[in-house]
Each structure stands twice: as structure tokens, then as C-alpha cells.
Structure 1
Amino acid sequence: MPDKKNYSSSVISKRRMHHAIRLVVSTLFLSVIFLFFGTGVIASDMLKENQLLVGVARKNITPDKRIKNWVTGKPYTGVEDSIYVRALVLGDGQDKIVIINWSLVDAGESATDEVRKKISAELNIPAHHILVNASHNHSAPWTPVYQAGYRGKERDTWWAIRYMPPQNDDPYFKAWMKFLINQTAAAAKEASQNLQPATLWIGRVNASRYMYNRRPRQPKWGLEESNVPKGYGFSHPDYNPDVLVGGAAFGPMDRTMTLLSFRDAHHNPIVSVFHLAVHAVSIYPYSEAISGDWPEEASKRIGETIGGEAVFLQGNAGDIVPWRRGRVAVTEMGAGLAELASAAYRFSAKLKPASLIATRSMVKLPLSERGKERTGLDSVNAEVQLITYGSLAIVTLPGEPLTGLGNAIRARSPFPQTLVLGYSNGNGVHYVSLPDEKPFGGYEVETGTSGTECAGRVLEEEAVRMLNEAIGRINHEHDAKK
């Protein structure tokens, strides 16, 4: 190797030229990064391969109390506590993904499409990179229908208009329709502007103390008598959620609360995403006011306990309800889930960096005679969405899936960290389950669904197909880099 002093001037000139070119390329790259991620602060280590970025924002979406309560058909009596939209934006330097949670009953097809169009235009991302999940909060409205035609002649879901006509011409509801979309888009934009480098950690805890499967397996024969009190249920003074009565057996239940913890370079929490499957029905039997029910209480408490923001993603809660109900139960559940989340945070594991991938598929769900009458169709279009980040997979199902459907998908998933969301990107056939639920009866498999007993199997098979296809693509890309 010659001494640097003996380098010819031409070699030195070439090195200077190459150095100048590298500076120009680096400057252009940083400019592109700045334009892509907006005004958010991006640290220097963002340039690492597969550097995860995260941003979060929250906006109030509480409607005027003068809109009608779908449970009573009368105006809400007040606002016990506000309801919110939360937007989580993820990036990897190339793609962005937006995850929305509404503190509402559902995420209907029309509302999902409307908010996707607005966010897609404002953030310049594909519509299938936007996930819309609802907490299934019964103390809040159903999402508005902005355009007809998504579900045949069934414009509004029958649940929303059982006790009143559609509200689209009501001035207070019309104002809220616009407000909901604008606030959601504003939250997504703010979260995108707040993007910062992050690591992702995952933890799980047993939250079964706050859950109850309302579909216990009743014996078909063999009992002589039962001492179950008349009118026994959650409102009965002797109610005990830990005891099954009448010789019944427990139905299936996913006891897990999963915590996805996004942390900054100093290991400080940015946002905690908590996922479990429990109906948000604690408040509405006792109050006709607007409320965020236990998910809002838990979000607040988890944020206070761990730090940063907290975002809830609802699971397959079609047959799972809170163990107790009422304001006292909500307060207790919020505090208890925060304590469990703190434990999950403490004992969590860090996921390896990876690329973000989002895909979706449309399937046709077969309709029962009841569903055909409601819609005028033989089948209804339904979306299954998949978001992956390395070993983490988030699957979405439409409508109100029973817990067994989510369990089946997780059991067949090749991804070790699989979350299955319900109440996402549409209503599908409303309640939806696997065929093995049919013999146990109940309105979830009878009047509460528009689908045949095979509708859940269609969703399961499509979700598993997408998961297997995704892992195959990841393995192929990994092999190509060797």
C-alpha cells in the first residue's frame, strides 16, 4: 500500500469528487425522508435498515347529546365521559400504515371507506394500509352510513334502527358525521407528523378475572332439578361471575391481554397498544348517557401507569362480556387492566426489526334466509386484512366474531405473535362463528347473524391462507439475502 503522500493528484481529485457525490446523495436522501415523514423529528439512527417509526394522536369524537341513542330511540341524557378516536401510524422508511380505533359500536363498511379515502389522500398512502377498528362500545353511536350500496338493500344495520328511523337528516347527527371523519383524519395526520424511531416489545398477561363467556354450555340431559334463583344474571343481587349455575360448563375464552409497547431510544414508552376481547357493555344497562365504557377508562389508566399514550384494539368478543357491570366495575376494571399492563410491560420481549407489510382480501360470506331477506343478496362482501412486522401478525375480521373463531386462526398461524381483531373494516354478517357454535343456540347464531353457519369458516380459511402466503414471502426474501 503506497503512502498517502505519494498519491497522485488525479487520485486525490477522484476521491474528492466521490466524496462530493456521496454528500449530495445523502442530502437528497435526507430531504426525501423529511418530505415523506413530514415535520416529525427523525433521529440519525432512522437510516438503519428496517428502522421502525411510530406516531400516535388522539382526538375527541363525542357527538352532541341530542342525537338519538340507538338503545332507546331517544336523545342521550348527557355525557358521562368523552369518547375518542386514536390513530397509530407506523413506518419503516418506505411504507406507512395507519391503525384507527373508534370508541364506537362498529366500523361499518361505508364509514371505513369514507375515512380511508380521506386519510389516503392526505397522507398519500394506499387505502389497504389503513385499518379501522371499533371498541364495540354500546354507550356510543353506530358509525354513520355515508353511501348506500355496500350491503345491498340493507343501508343501516338493523341494530342501529330498531327503535328509530335513520338519523342522516337530523342536523345534530349530520354535523357529527362530518366531525367524525375530520377528527379521524386530523388524528392520523398528527400521528404521522409525530413519527419517531422506536423499538417494539410484546408482553402478555392473564386478564380472565375481568371476562365472562355469556354462552355457557348447558347440559342437554341428566339434571333432576336446579336451584338457580329466578331472574339470575349480572343484575341479580346474588350474581357471582365465578360460578356457573344449572350444571353448565364454561364456554371458550381467550384469557390473554397482549401489550405492544413502542419505546424510544432511551427506552421510554411512546405508546402502549393493548388488545383483548371483551364487550364494552358495562355502562349502557345503567345509564342512557354517552360514555367510553371500560376501554376509555383502561386507556386513561394505562397511559398514566406506564407513560405515553394507550390505544385499545378490540378482539373477538362476540360471546365475551365483562365479569361485572356498572360505573364501579368500570373503575375497577380500568385500574386492574392498568396494573396487568404494567406487569406485561416489565416482563416484555423485544421483537426483531423487520419490514411492514399490509395486504387485504375480499371474500363473499354466504347469507342465511334472514340475511337474504335483509339485504336482497345471496352473499355479502367482507374484508380480511393482514399487517405483519417480522414475527408479529395482526389479522382483522369484520362484524362480531365469537372467540372460537379467533382461537382457530391463531392456532393455525405460522406467526408466533398473532393478534386477531374483530369489529374491523366492516360489519360482514354481524355475529359470526364457526359451525361448532350452532348446536348451542342463542341469538348470536340465530337472529343476531345474517350469515350461514359456514360464514366463519370462510373467514378462517382466508385469514390462514393470507398468513401462510405472508410467511412464504418473508422466507423467500430472507433466503434471497443469504
Structure 2
Amino acid sequence: MCLTKLITSKIFKKYHKVRISTFLMVILCVLLLSVQTTFAGDFKAVVVKENITPKVPKQLLGYGARLSEGILDSIYHQILILDDGNSKFALVSTDICVLSPATYDKVAKLVEKKFGIVRSNFWWSVTHTHSAPEVGAPGLPEAFMGERYKHPIDTNYTDLVTSKLLDGIEKGIQQLAPASLGVGWGHSSANINRRARDIDDVAFLGMNPDGAVDRRIGILKIVHKEDHRLMATVANYAIHGTVLGGQNLLISGDGPGVVAKYVEEKSGAPMLFINGAAGNLAPIYSVYPDARSGRMNMLRRLLGDKILMASKEILNYEDQISFSASEMDFLTPMKEGLKWPEALNEYIVDEKGTAKTIKVPVRFLNINDKIGIWASPLELFCEISNEVRERSPFPYTFYYGYTNGWLGYMLTEEEWEYKGYEPTVSPFVPNAGTRFGETVLSYLESELKSK
């Protein structure tokens, strides 16, 4: 009996250990799966399109002060929501000209309060069409072009634009679906350097075929995870929204709007047009009195088809996505004699009560350590973003301009010598552009890459 009990006891202990080991293995597998679900990035995405076309005449922003007399084509918010399983990111493309950083700040607070999307994860970019209504207070343009803003601020339209944006984000969060992400490059010759110079070497707004240009298209392609049906295209290209000139009184998304509509019709999914470093880049057909004489529909062929072609060439997709967004302030002296708008006092540093320093907020987004996107509220000259892209540690580096507000033109130091329109309406000193590019590169190579 004693021997039997001993053998039975040993067998029970061995069996018990096996059961415990098996149980622990099961628990470990569950934990590992749980960690993967929470942190590895089961990617979800959605795009929501909201019509913001006004039903009554509105003051148009771009060129001189003028009241609209009708609608050429509708204008929209295109709202992209990304979710990597850890946080949500909202990218908005809106068919308006420029936006005050103060207006962005107000909306960003609402977005964070209502949806928990923090400021660094909410990017509001505008296409820079010159044929869309004003939104919010004028901001920095009032410092240079005060004669345009003798009329009251249109709070009704600003409220409409804000409510449509918030509604779109709310819908998007509810409609998030499993997705995969692809990335690629395209090329288009739809733009041209607009800093024309005669033999006197004084720049004027025209065409300079020998000037610097950026003709790359940066493509993000989002497809359904299961069947790879297209959900959205994000196309990043540098071009002014100025096919239509100051004589036009019809509301329009201009060239970017025409291209977005065309790509959506051909692909079956919405397209966000995100402008780039277009400070010195115009469409090759520019400032015409109407869309027909400006051949605005030609941009369907010149740019729309090139976006579609580049999108088709993207064959590799990832559904395990992680992203990290961050922000830094670039500090640079203000141009002497500039009267800074009080509404933008958050964007300056007052040193000893006299000399002022401008704070330019720059946003960054690291996606899977392969895509590095940076954005600023500037009309940046393309030479600066071109150099950042060439020297960037990320295989895909995109610059999103006109994002989260507008703080004027930032030129290369060389272009200041040729004077003209852009230096006149720039709040910066001549060497700001060089230092800005180097500062952004340093951030891409260190802080953003480490994330």
C-alpha cells in the first residue's frame, strides 16, 4: 500500500505539473495575442466628405476683397481618420484659401474635448483655392492687406465650417474599418515657378520655366484590409489654387478641387488633396477670368491622371501600422516694422519689450519608421522642402503646407534679393528659410526617427 501510494503521488505531481505548464502556456498565448491586438497596430481608417458650399453670397479670400455671385463647383471638407490601435489621428483637407492659426486653435480644442484627439494628432490643411469664402478672423493677412478686411467677420459661415468638421470626425470615428496602407511617388508637370524676372532682376508674378520647382506627388493609398477595395487616396502636390483670377466671382475649389473630384469619379473613392511647398509655384494655366479660358479641366489630365497612375503602381500594403505625431516650435526674428495682429500673440515671443520672435509650429508624423510627414502653416518655397526630402532619413518624406493656419511666405535667402510680392508679405527675415530647413532636418534625423 505504501509503495502504491508513493507511485500514485509521484504520478499525480507529474500530471499536476503538466497541467500547470499547459495552463501557463495558454495564459501566455492569450497575453501575447492581447498585446499584439493592443499595441502592434491593427490598422483602421475611414474618410468622410462634408459639403461646405454656402447657399448665399460670401466674401471670397484671395486677390482683392470681392463678393461671390454664384457657384462654379462645390467645396468640401475631406476628413481622414486613422487608428493604429493605440491612438487616433485626424487629417482634414478643406477647400478654402488660408486659415488663421487662432481659428485652428479654437477648433483643435473642440476636437480634443469632444473626441479625445490631442492637438498633435489633429491636422487641418487647406487646398489654397483663391475662390472660396473666408473662414474665421483674417489673422496675419490683415497685417499686410488690411484694405481687404473692411467688412465684418462672417461668423455664420465659420460656425457652419466648424460644425461640419466636427460632424465629419464624429461620423468617421463611428465608421472606422480594418484597412491597409500603401505609399508611393508620382510625377506631374502641372506646376511652374511663378517668380518671373526680366533683365532688371526684379521678380514679379508670372512664369519662370528656369526657376526651382517640385513636381513630385506623394501618395498615400488606403484600402480595405480584406478585399483591397480603395477607401481613399491622399495626394500631396505643390500648386497654387490660382487657375481662376480675381475677376472670377464664382465659388470654386479651383485646380485642387477639379483634380479631387476627377480622381474620385475615376477611382470610386474620395481623394484628399494636400498642398505642398507652393509658395513659389503656380499652375501652368494661371489667373484667368473664368474656368474655360483658364483650361482648368486640363488639370484632370495633367495632374489627376498622374495621381491615378501612381496609385495603380502601389502594390504593397501593410495592415500593421503604428504612428507617432509630435510638434516643435521654430523660433525666428520678426521682420522690422511689422504690426503683429493681437489675435496671434500666442505665436510670438516678446523679448525685452522690443524685439519680437515668431514661433512657427511644425508638426511631424512617423508611420512605421518608413514615412516621415512634416507640416507647417506656411507658404514655403519649394527649394526648402526639396532639400529636406533629399536629405531625410525616411524613404518617403512628404511636406504638407498650409496646415494648421497661415503665417505667411518663407523664402530662400537668395530670393529675397529679387524682391517682388512674396518678400513684401513675409513676416520673416531673409535667413529664416535656411535655418528652418536645417532645424526640420535635425528633428527628422533625431527626435522623429527615434519615435
Provide Cα deviations, 1:266-317, integer angstroms capped at 9, x if missing partner: 1211100011000001124341121111111111111121221111111010
Query: Match for residue 263 of structure 1?
Result: 223
**Match among 415, 419, 422 for residue 398 of structure 2:** 419
CA 48–125 in structure 1, closer or farther in 2 if over 3 Å, else same: closer
Distance in 2 between the 1:53 and 1:470 partners? 26
Within the candidate set 184, 187, 192, 1:206 is matched to 187
Provide the residue aligned with 1:327 in structure 2: 291
| RMSD, aligned CA | 3.2
CA contact (8 A) 1:414 1:471 kept: no
Alpha-carbon offset, residue 134 of structure 1: 1.0
Letter in 1 for 2:41: N
- 1:478 matched residue in structure 2: none
Shift of the alpha carbon at 1:145? 2.7
Partner SS for 2:417: helix
Q: Deviations over 1:52-85 (max 9, x none)?
A: 3211111112234333234443421112222111
Gaps of 5+ in 1: 31-44, 222-231, 235-240, 475-482
Cα distance change of structure 1 residues 93 and 10 upon mapping to structure 2, 3 Å threshold: same
Q: 2:356 aligns with which of 360, 363, 378?
A: 378
Summarize deviations over 1:252-272 as a string: whole Å, max 9, x none. 000112221111221211100
Deviations 1:423-455 (A, max 9, x none): 112222x0111212112221112x121211122
1:302 aligns with 2:284: no
Residues in 2 aligned to 1:93 and 1:410: alpha-carbon distance in whole angstroms: 29
Letter in 2 for 1:319: N
What corresponds to 1:52 in structure 2?
A: 43
The yes-or-no answer on 1:396 pairing with 2:375 is yes
| 1:345 matches 2:311 | yes
Give the aligned partner of residue 288 of structure 1: 249
Aligned to 1:62: 53
1:16, distance to aligned residue in structure 2 (A)? 9.2
d(CA) in 2 for partners of 1:381 and 1:143? Answer: 22
Give matches, 1:112-123, under 5 Å: 112-123=104-115
**TM-score (normalizing by structure 2):** 0.83
- How much does 1:192 deviate? 2.1
Partner of 1:36 in structure 2?
none
Partner residue, 1:358 = 325
TM-score (ref. length: structure 1)? 0.78
Equivalence for 2:170:
189
- Distance in 2 between residues matched to 1:415 and 1:372, nearest whole Å: 39
* Other structure's SS at 1:456 match: helix
Q: How many residues align?
A: 419
Residue 251, structure 1, aligned to residue 228, structure 2:
no
Give 2:272's aligned amino acid.
V
* Runs of at least 5 residues in structure 2 that lack an aligned partner in the other structure: 1-10, 343-353
Aligned residue in 2 for 1:479: none
Q: Bigger CA drift: 384-393 or 72-81?
A: 72-81
SS of 1:280 mapped into structure 2: coil
Between the aligned partners of 1:439 and 1:199, the Cα distance in structure 2 is 47
TM-superposition CA deviations, 1:328-363 (whole Å, max 9, x none)? 322121344221122101222536554200000112
Is this contact kept in 1: 2:185–2:218, CA < 8 A? Answer: yes
d(CA) in 2 for partners of 1:54, 1:322: 32
Aligned partner of 1:467 among 425, 432, 444: 444
Given that 1:211 and 1:321 are in contact with CA atoms closer than 8 Å, whether structure 2 keeps it comes out as: yes
Greater displacement, 178-187 / 332-341: 332-341
The correspondence for 1:443, drawn from 421, 424, 439, is: 421
Contact persistence 2:60–2:130 (CA under 8 A): no
Are the equivalent residues in 2 in contact too, given 1:366–1:454 (CA < 8 A)? no
**Which protein is richer in strand relative to its size?**
2
Query: Offset at 1:188?
Result: 1.7
Q: Percent identity?
A: 22
Work out whether 1:279 is the aligned partner of 2:243: no
Q: 1:56 to 1:160 in 2, by over 3 A?
A: farther
Alignment partners' CA distance in 1, 2:127 and 2:157: 18
Deviation, structure 1 residue 460: 1.6
Q: Deviations over 1:149-168 (max 9, x none)?
A: xx7xx6x6346642342523
Distance 1:87 1:194 in 2: 12
Q: Which residue of structure 1 lines up, in the alignment, with residue 365 of structure 2?
A: 387
Give the conservation status (yes or no) of the 8 Å contact 1:104–1:142: yes
Q: CA separation in 1, counterparts of 2:177 and 2:241? A: 32
Q: Distance in 2 between matches of 1:450 and 1:142?
A: 21
* Counterpart in the other structure of 1:90: 82
Deviation for aligned residue 1:217 = 5.2
Q: Which secondary structure state, in structure 1, belongs to the residue aligned with residue 415 of structure 2?
A: helix
- For 2:230, the aligned partner's letter is P
Distance change (3 Å), C-alpha of 1:186 and 1:377 = farther
